[in-house]
Amino acid sequence: MRRRAVGIANAENRKALDRKFQEIGDNIAAREIQQLHDQLDTFKTNLQEFARKYRKDIRRDPTFRMHFQQMCTKIGVDPLASNKGFWADLLGFGDFYFELSVQITEICIATRPQNGGLIEMGELKRRIKVKRGDRKSSQPEISEDDIVRSIKTLKPLSSGFEILTIGNRKMVRSVPKELDTDQSSLLLLAQATGYMTKGMIETEFKWHEGRILQALDNLLQDGLAWLDLSPGEEDKYWIPSFYDFGDNENTV
Amino acid sequence: MQSESNSYKFPAIHDFPPLYTRQPTESTWQNQVKEWERIILAYYRSQRLYRLNLVEATVPGASPLFDNTKIKRRLSLETLEEIVNEMVRKGLAEWVTDSNTGSKSAARTQALIYWRKPEEWSSLLWNWINEQGFNNSIMTVYEIANGEAAEGTDFYEMDTTVLIKALEVLSANGNAQIFTGTGDVDSIGVKFFGT
């Protein structure tokens, strides 16, 4: 290894050299930042052009819309952020999600007496479709992603709407009351059959009877479960949110 | 409507087993009552039924409306009575007064189911009278519900008690006058006035 140079002259030299390096470095950084800015601008312009060009597809095709949304989110642009923003104006998105969130709210409230404020995603989607069905066929199709986004736009209103995952089902909870862990466990248990019995709960969780009764009573109280007594059968507790009511319109 | 009872398709909730158990939670019960109201009214409308005998209807196998053999669930007489009480409170049904005693407190065994209320029947009748030009003529209750002119109308072969209630509405409005005969209800006469 070469011995390091010593002495005052050398030190001065090194300082000057450091300064030069610093200057060059600053230059490069500034250029890079400028370049990045330019690139971002170009990208933004392209994105806008893209959005303008495919406006129709974005509005019509739910898969396309989802991909576009994901792309925007990745680069920190949120087309939903404001109803008045550039993106909303360009795409008419604000109105789209606003309208959808109103429909979601209406359905959740209308079905609350029946399901206790817990609705399955598929059922919600089906009801939205029915609600929008009487309009022209030019209406955009609604995807699960759209529903999730719409519910997120409701958040600032402290609506208490949230999306729960129970087993392999997505559920929309429209009552601000949280499910306790026992309730959640029971919902998960009832998912497959649509109902549960004390025996099923005992076998699955090994809870003592008091706990089982309390948890079931909570579900009944919250309107999340309906009691089914039939002579010769074990009492069943049905979860209407899991029951397929078909095309039957129960909305009051 | 031509549908027969065995081809009638109940809404999906009719197969939801807990619908046949009186729900202990008040808000759920209120909703259960509403579901039953809708089911009963739709069924009665499609089958052109007017009267509900609670005891007879809840006997096993008596009616596909309350005995769902597919899921082995049957509505109890007690629960049905509560439901009909609610319907009466909302004007969707009326307890049949015991004709012998005339007492409203008589056992609540039979109810008229109003898939159309007497007021609605009366305006339907009144339109028909005017269309047919029956103004200023006298008709018997039997003629109105079973005469040739009534064929194909909604009130063809309708329940006499409900028909008379509708005629009473017309009478109260000054559009008709009822002449109570001496014999049975079918011979009650009605004079319709002009428009």
- The pLDDT confidence band at residue B3, using thresholds 50, 70 and 90, is very low
Q: Cα–Cα distance between B192 and B174 in angstroms, integer?
A: 9
How close is the nearest chain A Cα to the Cα of B5, in Å?
A: 19
Specify whether the CB–CB gap between A109 and A174 falls below 8 A.
yes
Q: How many CA atoms lie within 13 A of A144 on its CB side?
A: 9
Q: How many residues does chain B have?
A: 195
Residue in B with minimal Cα distance to A240:
B16
Closest Cβ–Cβ partner in B11, B17, B34 for A238: B17
Question: Percent of chain B at pLDDT above 90?
Answer: 50
Q: How many CB pairs (< 8 A) connect A and B? A: 62
Distance from CA of A88 to the nearest CA of B (A): 40
Q: Is the ipTM of this complex over 0.90?
A: no
Interface test with B, best of A228, A236, A247 (most B CBs within 10 A): A228
pTM for the whole structure:
0.73
- How confident is chain A (252 residues) per 10-residue block, as mean pLDDT? 70 85 85 84 77 77 80 68 56 72 89 89 90 63 85 75 88 86 92 94 94 94 94 94 71 38
Chain A's closest residue to B11, CA to CA, is: A248
AA letter at A48: Q
DSSP for residue B29: H
CA-nearest residue to B16 within chain A is A243
Q: How many CB atoms lie within 10 A of CB A227?
A: 19
Q: Residue B191 forms beta bridges with which residues?
A: B138, B177
Q: Token pair for residue B158?
A: 């309708």
Of B18, B31, B38, the CB nearest to A238: B18
The answer to whether the beta carbons of residues B191 and B176 sit under 8 Å apart is yes
Whether A238 sits inside 8 A of B24 (CB atoms) is: no
In the predicted model, what is the mean pLDDT of residues B51-66? 92
Three-class SS state of A185:
helix
Min distance B27 CA to chain A CA atoms (Å)? 7
Query: What is the structure's pLDDT at B2?
Result: 41
Q: Do B13 and A250 touch (CB under 8 A)?
A: yes
Domains of chain B: 3-113 (1.10.10.570), 118-192 (1.10.10.10)
- Within 8 A of B23 by CB-CB distance, chain A residues are 220, 226-227
